[in-house]
Every structure is written in C-alpha cells, then in structure tokens.
Homo-oligomer: A and B are copies of this chain.
Amino acid sequence: MARSAFTQAELRFLARMRVGRLATCDAGGQPHVVPIVFAVEGHRLYTPLDEKPKRVAVGQLKRVRNILVNPQVAVVVDEYDEDWSRLAWVLIRGTAEIVAEGEAHATAMYLLRDKYPQYAAANLERRPVIVIRPTRIAQWGFLGRPTADVT
C-alpha cells in the first residue's frame, strides 16, 4: 500500500505544479504549514530555504526548528479548479533532513534552477535545502490526463 516512489503521472503533475505546501509539527504536536517551491525526482522532494525579509536566519525558521525535533513531514501539491470534478492532489508523507552541501544538495540546486527561472541569478549554492524522502505517497482526483496508474 505505502508507496515511496512517484508514479509517472505524479511526476508529470508535480513538474507542472509551481507551489506545494509543507506541513511540519513541533514537539508539542502543534502543526505548521507554509507554501514552498519544490522539485522532485523519483525518490526525493527538494525545497530550498530561501532568505526571508529582514534576513531571518535559516535555523530560526519554524519549519527548520520543527524538522530538527521531529523529521516527520507532509507535503501536499494540489490543483484547484472551479469545476470540482477536476480537483487533484498528491500527498507525500516522509522524513525530512536539512542539507547544506554534497550530492543531494547539488541535485536540488540543479532541479530547482531548471524548474524556476526566478533562480537564474540567485546564489542558491549557499542556501540549505530540505530533502524529503517519501515513505507514503497518495493521490486523489484528476492529475491531468488519464493514465493506467491513477488509482
């Protein structure tokens, strides 16, 4: 039942979607959720830690503090349509890690630059990324075109 790799239909949908939402939870069970840009490959989802206005240090971001005490996360990527028969989402539950260098970081930088032209001039290399390893992937609704692996 619990899938940890994306289907082809999910990969197409996730490549087309520009924003997802990352949910984390602190030690006291309080959830937190923020919009994220992201990129995926077969077994990973990557999201960068952008600099914030007023230059909040990355380690002070609530999502980061939550992940450091509880690496369990969830990401939903959904498409809204006023025709509710066309709603769709992919829900990824998994474990998150903050990564500042190395192969996973380099892969994230490449995929994020490829997906988002906004990063063309950005100095992404100095930003940590959140690397999420899915442990359970679910989908619902109309992902964009009928495929055999839509459940």
A25 at the interface (CB under 8 A from B): yes
B30 lies within 8 A of A29 (CB): no
* A123 adjacent to chain B (CB < 8 Å): no
Q: Within the complex, what minimum Cβ distance (angstroms) separates A48 from chain B?
A: 12
Contact of A93 among B32, B78, B80 (CB under 8 A): B32
Which bracket fits the contact residues of A?
20 to 34
Binary flags per residue of A10-21, CB closer than 8 Å to B gives 1, else 0 = 000000001101
Q: How far is the CA of A73 from the CA of B89 in the complex (A)?
A: 20
Q: Main SS of the interface on chain A?
A: strand
Contacts A80-B19, A82-B18 given; does A35 touch B89 at CB 8 Å? yes
Known: A18-B80, A80-B18. A30 touches B118 (CB 8 A): no
- In addition to A23-B74, A82-B118, 13 A-B residue pairs with Cβ atoms within 8 Å of each other are A18-B82, A19-B80, A21-B23, A21-B78, A24-B31, A25-B29, A29-B72, A31-B33, A31-B72, A32-B93, A33-B76, A34-B89, A35-B78
A binding-site residues for B, Cβ under 8 Å: 18-19, 21-25, 27-35, 70, 72-76, 78, 80, 82, 84, 87, 89, 91, 93, 118
